[in-house]
Structure 1
Amino acid sequence: MNRAPGILITGAAGYIGGSILADFLSHTNLSAAATLNAVVRTEEQAQALSKLSVNVLRFEINDEAAVTAAVEQNEIDIIVHAANSSDPLLVINLIQALGRRRAATGKPVYFIHSSVTTLFSEEAGWPHGMLKDTDSIYEKEKELGGTHPVRQTNLVAVEKAEECDVTSFIIVVPNVYGRGNGECRKVSILIPALIQAGIKLKKVHKFDTDGSPPAAHISDIVALYGILVDRILRNQDVPNGKNGYYFAMAHRAPWWAYMQAIANSLYARGLVVDPELEIWPSDEEAAEALHFPAQFIRAMGTASGGLEPVNSYRLGWQPLWNDEAFLERADEEVQAVLDLDTIRTSLFDQLLRPAMD
């Protein structure tokens, strides 16, 4: 009897990772075809996930020995890395562990890395304009180089996987919204920060330039991960490695219109003095109010970017949310922020560290 493949989800206590785990567990065909393992960092997170039908592992991904032991002892064949998009060391540790398993068993192993769409905007230094996920993205990133931590991590993911005989994929995540269904964090980062800043300042702000960045509801995001993993489990040949970029873009987010919807919602609740939007006095003040790295604030707040998902749709991805639903249900996002704890994640601490050193 063949053993069920082992899947390891990093960031399983986070917004996206936790929602991926919940989605995988809800699909009986997927959960029956594989053994699910979830990585968390704290005992509190481990306790929160312990009631689920998943093997909960607690270790630090920056600990190479711990990663290797976890992959070997739990017979991991597929890693869904949703914990961090900007730390190459984590990617190296995970892929090398998979490579050792590949060498020991002779069976294929897979690494799914989570990146971000803001990387491919003019504001983030992307010079190539309109981009499809079927284009030669790896070559363009390699040629561009630079010190952007997310771009560096993308390149490491592709190159280290090729070196270790690991099949790799990069899902490029846009602005994500909606209430997640994981056990711990249930809201995203950017939109809750904008809402919280409006409440604190008693006034909702917008940037001096309107943006329309790629966006997707959390339910559509996790559906794409599920489809890709299902194709892997079925041994279907799908684009991977240097050709394995997947834009998870369901629609665009018209920022000024959305911030107006947020302002209307907050004003109706008596949380701001009026529904009129105000321009941020400066990028530095916006960064301080939102608790985001100043060097990335333009890309996060004003970017549009010309991205077109092709690989994602060829997989069979059919997102259910569009820009109209995004705008119409902005009040739900406000309510989620009011209902739920919105602690900061380690992602921005990681991005801030070089600026503080």
Structure 2
Amino acid sequence: MVTKIFLTGATGYIGGSIIQRLLSHPNAKSFEITALVRNPDKAKLLESFGVKPIIGSHSDTDKLEALAAQSNVVFTVADCDDVAAAKAILAGHKKRHAETGEVPILIHTSGTGVISDNAAGKFASDVIYSDLDIPLIESLPPSAPHRPVDILVSEAGKEGYVRTHIILPSTIYGIAKGPLYDKGVSNPHSMQVPALIKASWDRGQGGMVGEGKNIWPCVHIDEIVDLYIVLYDAATANPNTPSGREGFYFGESDHYLMYDLVKTVAKVLVELGRGKSEEPTTFTDEEMQKYFGGSAYLGSNSRCKAERSRAIGWKTTKSVKDMLASIKPETEGLIANGRISDAVISSRDRY
């Protein structure tokens, strides 16, 4: 039996890794993988890996709806704040259910930014969310980052025409590796850590929001992709895998103090002859505007426990130590890829 899988974000950091894992999955021979791609050249490369590319973007809502309607499983790994795209994909799921009676599966990517606060680097919060504590998650305001789409997806799952599962990665670190990255199909770099490195590089000194007293969870790229595959396997094997209202899965392996991260960035910059001191300094208001569009997300707290994720079999072994050890290779990788000179961080690099 063929399993039709549709994925958005194939040329991205997480999406490329998911496709690689699907292509090497034990059931890969039964998969028919389709990916929405904007770049025709990358589409051709994807095709050479056995993936069916469809040229288009999130703005092509008709295509999104049609592709979702044709699929048993959909992975959304692109812009998690695009309400129109989410509605189109859900409409496709509803159409498939109405026409075939099948309840398709949606694995949607959100982020732990949804539980972030306004600490501005001044304090560490003692509020820790669990993906088993649904009432606490549902207490988040609709205006919280990523929340509008999360609500749409969760509500669709409650309606019953699609089984919805929302993965919420935290700070993902590590350079993604594999054939799609070697060929230049997918982006090997994450968002949060490179954003901090780029800004610090440009100012010639490790920088932080406020005093860097805030705390975030982290997870290595390989381990967060493990979660997608563990969840895929669980959802396809067992229709009772928590979904809908209960379908939230945090991706965290450890927590880090922001000061420790920015201190490591400052040290690496000194080692590379770019930084003035191993002691990070606070971003000015002007720098916050220049590098992050005025957003203080790097000063927020986002604390969580991936209890539901681990309950379905997800395992992690990496810690903050691994994250801090990744900063120098990440910086050198950004330099090698010609990205370090682009210090003005785009909105797509904000978490």
Q: TM-score, normalised by structure 1?
A: 0.86
Counterpart for residue 154 of structure 1:
150
Q: Match of 1:154, SS?
A: helix
Given candidates 76, 86, 90, the residue that maps to 2:71 is 76
Residue 247 of structure 1 corresponds to 250
Map of 1:91 onto structure 2:
86
Match runs of 1:8-47 below 5 Å: 8-27=6-25, 29-47=26-44
Unaligned runs of 5+ in 1: 353-357
Maintained 8 Å contact 1:61/1:94: no
CA shift for structure 1 position 253: 2.5
**TM alignment of 1:139-288, pairs within 5 A:** 140-141=137-138, 144-148=140-144, 150-163=146-159, 165-181=161-177, 182=180, 183-209=185-211, 210-282=213-285, 284-288=286-290
RMSD: 2.7
Relative to structure 1, the CA distance from residue 97 to residue 43 in structure 2 (aligned partners, 3 Å threshold; closer, same or farther) is same
SS of residue paired to 1:288: helix
- C-alpha distance after superposition, 1:243-288 (max 9, x if no partner): 0100001111222112222222221121223333211123x52241
The equivalent residue for 2:310 is 313
* 1:96/1:164 contact within 8 Å kept: no
Q: Percent identity?
A: 24
Q: CA deviation at 1:347?
A: 8.4
- Tell me, in whole angstroms, the C-alpha distance in 2 between the residues paired with 1:347 and 1:245: 28
Q: Report the residue type matching 1:10 in the other structure.
A: T
3-state SS in 2 of match to 1:246: strand
Counterparts of 2:349 and 2:134, CA distance in 1: 28
Unpaired segments ≥5 residues, structure 2:
none
Indicate how the Cα distance of structure 1 residues 128 and 96 shifts in structure 2: closer, same or farther if over 3 A, else same: farther
**Structure 2 counterpart SS, 1:253:** strand
- Aligned partner of 1:277: which letter? P
Q: With structure 2 as the length reference, what TM-score do the two structures score? A: 0.87
Aligned equivalents of 2:215, 2:114: Cα separation in 1: 15
Contact 2:113 2:145 in 1 (8 A): no
What is the one-letter code of the residue matched to 1:276?
A: E
Q: By how many angstroms is 1:236 displaced?
A: 5.0
Show the counterpart of 1:122: 117
Report Cα offsets for 1:101-144 as digits up to 9, x if no partner: 1221222201111111121123289x99332101125x753x55
Secondary structure of 1:213's match? Answer: strand
Q: Which of the two has greater helix per residue?
A: 1
CA separation in 2, counterparts of 1:104 and 1:5? 17
